[in-house]
Structure formats: C-alpha cells, structure tokens
Amino acid sequence: MSRRRPPRVASADLLSMLGRLTAQARQGVELQQARVELAEALQREMLPTTLPCLPGLRTAAQYSPARHGLDIGGDWYDGFRLPEGALAFCIGDVQGHDVDAAAFMGQVRICLRAVAAVVVDPGEVLSRANEVLLSMNRDLFATCSLLRFDPDTWELESARAGHVPAVWATVDGRYGIAEDNGGLPLNLVPGSAYAVTRRRLTQAGSIVLLTDGVVEGPRFPLEVGLERVLRVVREAAGTDPAELAAEVMKVADSTGHADDAAVLVLSHDAAGPAQATAPATAPATGPEPERGPERGPGPAPAPAAPAAPHDPA
C-alpha cells in the first residue's frame, strides 16, 4: 500500500507563512537593536561631559562602545570636586551588558558621589557604598577604582574594589602597574573592607585608569594588554591627557575586544615646594618610595599606587 503524501501547501499560503516568519524575525532584530541603542544612550547620558582639573593637574577620558551585540552598558568613569576642595576620580565596570547594567552603573556612580561628599577616606567610601548598594537588592555587582587628589599636599589616595590596576609613569623614567591591595567588587559581600594606598606626587607624570575592555580580548590575556598600555604610558608620561587617552584606547583595538572600554588619564606636574613640605592629610603607609634597581618593564614588586618604581631597561 502506498503512503499518502501530505497535502501540498498552496503557493499563496506558503508566501503568507514566509511573510509572517520574516516579520517576526525582523521584530526580534529591531527589538535587540532598540535595546542596544537604549543602553548606549543611557550610558552616554550618565557619563560626565567634563572632568575637573587644576593648575598642574590635567584630565581626560575616552569611552568606546562594544562592537557587537548587547555588550554595552557596564563601563563608566567619573570625576568631581569634593566639599573640602579635593578632587575625586573613579572608573568601573558593572557585570552585564544591557539596559539593566547601564541603569545599575548610574546607581553606583551616584552612590559613590553621595558617599564621597561626606566621607574622606576612599576605602571607607567604597565600604559604605557597598552597604548602600546591597540594600537595593540588585543581582549585579561592580568593580571600580576610586582616587582622591588633595591639591594642598599633592597627595593621591586610592582604593580598589576588584578592578583592573592603574598604570603609571613619571617623566624621570619610572613606571609601573599599581598592584596595590584591593577588595571585593561592590554589591557582593556585606562588611567588605578596602585598603587605601597613599602617595605624594613628587615627580611629573601620568596615571591611567582603565577597564578590562581596553586590555583584554578573545585569546588576549589581561597581563599582555597591561604591558602594552604600560609601554604607551612610559613613552608619553606627563603629556596631554587627551592624546594619551587616545593612544591607550588603540590598545583596545589591537585586542579585538568585544566588551566596551573606558580610559581615564591624570597628567600631573611635580609637587611644588609648599606642597612637598605640607603635612599629609592622613598617615602615610610608608616612606616616599626610592628608585628601585634597574629592571625590565612589568609590575612593580611592592604594592603601591603608583607601585614601587623601577627604571626602564
């Protein structure tokens, strides 16, 4: 007995079915594109249009969205003046790459500003901000680095919450990756503590804060990216921060990054005579670092921000 064939679909019905499927697929693509554009718009509106600066301290930043899909919305940078006259700078990365990440990024940024307005110590700022974020019951977490610059003493204080270390170099040939002690990302564990590193900027130079999208990509290790940024900063220490930020961002292009990327640059002069003799705003963690033995490029062995110096090979 022969098997009966299913009835053949009429050409008109087939065309109608294909039309419906095409329309559904197009709606899905348009919805995804709309979410990408919304996340990017949210993020760009939340990023500051200007950064604070002072005579002897020049600042600049760059942001680059992800190249594909929904990988956008998590990275941010910020800079603002504090009530007592100091300046604060931060950079960070929120888990996730969508509208939720962009919205949480705004909450983290506002939270840090609010706490920093009433708390001086950067480590305590991160600790209290962590508790505030935990009270919001959000499932996302954020890494960040927070710096506080005192124009009276030319002292820089830094604290890090699970974030990529900063890269620094001075015009006298010292350089390093600031592998200072940090803590857990924000919004993970109650009661988290964050160590603070203090250093007076006695030599002119540049400090570069960045997100992992700059230095990490598919089959491109984080350590390799940091070394590339270190070479760029060594060659341009103390120069125009906008130009240096643009050169650092080129490293992201070479990594083939799929994530968004942000760079924040502080180019500073050396402390003047009055600043060099002014009392520190807080007890220093140790004596002013001395020039280390001659060695090749790479992270300084001692934790500092900037890290313990060494000469270029």
- The average pLDDT across 255-280 equals 76
The pLDDT confidence band at residue 311, using thresholds 50, 70 and 90, is: very low
Integer Cα distance of 183 and 195 in angstroms = 7
Pick the more confident residue, 306 or 149: 149
pLDDT the model gives residue 302: 35
Q: Is the pLDDT of residue 66 over 50?
A: yes
Which position has the higher pLDDT, 54 or 102? 54
Question: Rounded to an integer, what distance in angstroms lies between the CA atom of residue 121 and that of residue 313?
Answer: 36
Note the pLDDT tens digit of each residue in 176-209: 999 888 899 999 999 999 999 999 999 999 999 9
pLDDT, tens only, 79-99: 999 999 999 999 999 987 677
Is 170 strand, coil or helix? strand
* Amino acid occupying residue 305: A
| Rounded Cα–Cα distance for residues 261 and 73 (Å) | 10
Answer yes or no: is pLDDT of 297 > 60. Answer: no
217, burial (CB in 10 Å: exposed 0-12, middle 13-18, buried 19+)? buried
Tell me how far apart the alpha carbons of residues 79 and 73 are, in angstroms, rounded to a whole number. 19
pLDDT at 92: 95
Does 244 score more than 90 pLDDT?
yes
What is the C-alpha to C-alpha distance for residues 164 and 141, in angstroms, rounded to an integer? 15
The CA distance from 181 to 13, in Å, is: 67
Question: Which pLDDT value is given to residue 208?
Answer: 98
Strand (E) or helix (H) holding 116 = helix 99-116
Per-residue pLDDT, 308: 36
Mean pLDDT of 10-32: 63
pLDDT, position 46: 74
Q: What is the pTM of this model?
A: 0.76
Pair 147, 88: CB distance under 8 Å: yes
**Residue 260, pLDDT score:** 82
Mean pLDDT of 18-35: 63
Q: What is the largest CA-CA distance in the chain?
A: 105
Question: Which of 71-85, 102-116, 142-156 ranks highest by mean pLDDT?
Answer: 142-156
**Confidence (pLDDT) at 126:** 98
In the three-class reduction of DSSP (H, G, I as helix; E, B as strand; rest coil), residue 178 is classed as strand
pLDDT value for 298: 35
**Residue 291: its pLDDT value, please?**
34
Rounded Cα–Cα distance for residues 283 and 232 (Å):
33
Mean pLDDT of the 140-155 span: 96
Q: Residues with Cβ < 8 Å from 186, sequence gap 6 or more?
A: 108, 126, 129, 130, 133, 141, 142, 143, 144, 161, 162, 192
pLDDT classification of 18: cutoffs 50, 70, 90: low
According to the model, what pLDDT value does residue 259 have? 76
Burial class from Cβ neighbours inside 10 Å (0-12, 13-18, 19+) for residue 215 reads buried
CA 240 – CA 242 distance, rounded (Å): 6
